[in-house]
Amino acid sequence: MAETTSHERAKNSAAGANGKTKVPLSGNRRLDALSASGRATEVERSGSTSGLEAAAKRLRDAPAKQRVLQVPQQDMTAATEAMRRIGVHRTVKNMSGTKRRSI
């Protein structure tokens, strides 16, 4: 399935000028963005529990110290719970970056 333009825009913004998008992970998975400073970002717009948990697992396995799950505002509570269930203790933020929760 093709990515939406808003998903692509969020990934490119998270990666920054010198970062990378679609970074390979083990198990034939890909991380959405890895910035040059070492911040891993996963953008999940579906809002489904399984999608949020899969994104949290990709962040858990990312080669970075900073990990951010970026979701729409209405999915922030579900994303926070998914991150806790998987055991990733970092940041959940909304798509525009105006609100964030540290876990």
**pLDDT tens sequence across 4-54:** 888 899 999 999 999 999 999 999 999 999 999 999 999 999 889 999 999
Range of the domain at 21: 5-102
Cα torsion 87, 70, 101, 79 to 10°: value is -50
- pLDDT recorded at residue 7: 87
Please count the structural domains in the chain: 1
Q: Which residues contact 77 (CB under 8 A, 6 or more apart)?
A: none
**pLDDT tens sequence across 51-60:** 999 999 999 9
> Quick one: which of 87, 91, 88, 85 has its CA closest to 68?
91
